Amino acid sequence: MEELFKILRQLKESGKTIVFITHKLNETMSLSDRITVIRKGKVVFRCDTFDTNEKELATQMVGRQVESIVSGKEEGNGPVILELDQVRLHKRAGRTVSLQVHGGEILGIAGVDGNGQQELEEMIVGNRKVDEGVITIDGISVNEMSVRARKAMGLGYIPSDRHKDAMVSDFTITENFLLGYQNDPRYSRKGIIDYKSLEEDAKKQVEEFEIKVAGVDQKIGQLSGGNQQKVILGREISHDPKLMLVAQPVRGLDIGAIERVHRTLLKLKEEGKAILLISAELSEVMNLSDRIAVLYEGELSAQFKAGAYTKEEIGLFMAGKSRRKWHMKWIHNKNTAEVGKSLAAIAVALLIGALFILLAGESPVTAYSSLIKGALGTPQSIANTVSKSIPLAFTGLAVALGSRCGMLNIGAEGQLHAGAMPL
């Protein structure tokens, strides 16, 4: 987006007039000079950009004050509903994916689009074959099950592409309410669809979600993106799912619809449902999720417990840069530990030496002072110490390097002989 904005700013500087239509407040504030808000087909607000803020714009867009929806972060202590055990998302992925989603929690999947989110979504719902690993719902493998069978087990599904996988634009709202549940005994008896029951449930969800429609016989393609998503969400939760797979749920939605979708997800969580949230919107993942896993090139580059992360850390993992950063951090910690071990070993050796000196009837302080003075007390003694230690150090380094590379393994006795050679 930043590249697009850069081009638009250049066009503006060259004297072009730009009309930029968006429902994203940060884009509006970043790019525009003047803002017009249209609600229900009418202009309700106009101002210069520097005279307003995101909160005021949100209020004008929705017609009421909009609250920021943030989940109370907590570890899921319910039963494991969904589990992926060593599942390979695609052949290019170097490592498999393993994760669990518990009842009463939201596990957020963060990542830049195209890093395995689509494969993960399709494998869980049953639209893509699992070549390696096992996916279970309620402890039962669903690898060989159809989409219908998985939904019968309690899987609710909000796909990333609602037009392709969740609705038929030329069907009415009532008819779309049937999709995926054609064999539900509430709506189908001996192959005959009970349109009366279907219509009653559709009307109930339209009222529950405050969907703006002329009636349930209206074609869903005539609705706004937010209202379409509300129809799909209402359809899925009306069947009381135990697991919700929710992919890019607010893509293309205005701020009012986003608020409603988020409130619904948190309500489902409070009811004990397990929710897997896949989203490219990092703020959405951070605000709603109890735990976060990051996908990068088809692999889980990180998993974070509730609150044990920052936006910067997750962003680095999403970009693939943090692996090296965290790897170097691990190396640094390891090296620090090794230095600590070496210092501890020297201290123990000095203590043992002091013990033997005491047993011999001498003072350890006097003995160590004489040792230091003899090695470093005068310029000549320092030169003598250096000349003796350099060959020994280089021999030891050569042996260590060869051993590390696997070129030789001379054993303890061989190292003693090699160390004695310079002497």
Residue 98: CATH number of its domain: 3.40.50.300
Nearest alpha carbon to residue 289 among 158, 102, 23: 102
User: Do both 101 and 31 map to the same domain?
Assistant: no
Query: pLDDT tens digits for 204-259?
Result: 999 988 888 999 999 999 998 889 999 999 999 999 999 999 999 988 787 888 88
User: Do both 156 and 19 map to the same domain?
Assistant: no
User: Do both 54 and 152 map to the same domain?
Assistant: no
User: Do both 92 and 238 map to the same domain?
Assistant: yes
Range of the domain at 46: 2-62
Nearest alpha carbon to residue 275 among 108, 71, 84, 74: 108
Q: Residue 244: how many CB atoms within 10 A of its CB?
A: 27
Overall number of domains in the chain: 2
- What pLDDT score was predicted for residue 275? 96
User: Do both 115 and 30 map to the same domain?
Assistant: no
Q: Is residue 102 part of a domain?
A: yes
Residue 313 above 60 pLDDT?
yes
Q: Is residue 114 part of a domain?
A: yes
pLDDT mean over 281-289: 89
User: Do both 10 and 126 map to the same domain?
Assistant: no
Q: Which of 325, 340, 370 is the last residue of a domain?
A: 325
- What pLDDT score was predicted for residue 330? 44
pLDDT mean over 381-392: 79
User: Do both 16 and 86 map to the same domain?
Assistant: no
Q: Is residue 414 part of a domain?
A: no
User: Do both 165 and 267 map to the same domain?
Assistant: yes
pLDDT > 90: what percent of the chain?
44
User: Do both 121 and 261 map to the same domain?
Assistant: yes
C-alpha distances (whole Å) from 254 to each of 2, 251, 259, 265 are 21, 9, 9, 17
User: Do both 57 and 150 map to the same domain?
Assistant: no
Q: Which of 325, 349, 375 is the last residue of a domain?
A: 325
- What pLDDT score was predicted for residue 323? 46
Q: Which of 325, 345, 367 is the last residue of a domain?
A: 325
User: Do both 132 and 269 map to the same domain?
Assistant: yes
Q: Which amino acid is at 104?
A: G
pLDDT mean over 307-329: 68
**What tokens appear for 204 in the block?**
């109930």
Q: Is residue 336 part of a domain?
A: no
Q: Is residue 398 part of a domain?
A: no
**What tokens appear for 410 in the block?**
């001379």
Residue 73 above 70 pLDDT?
no
Q: Is residue 331 part of a domain?
A: no
DSSP letter, residue 42: E
In whole angstroms, what is the distance from residue 79 CA to residue 250 CA? 28
Residue 334 above 60 pLDDT?
no
- What pLDDT score was predicted for residue 335? 59
User: Do both 50 and 99 map to the same domain?
Assistant: no
Q: Is residue 121 part of a domain?
A: yes
Contacts (Cβ under 8 Å, ≥6 apart) of 64: none
Q: Are 94 and 73 in contact (CB under 8 A)?
A: no
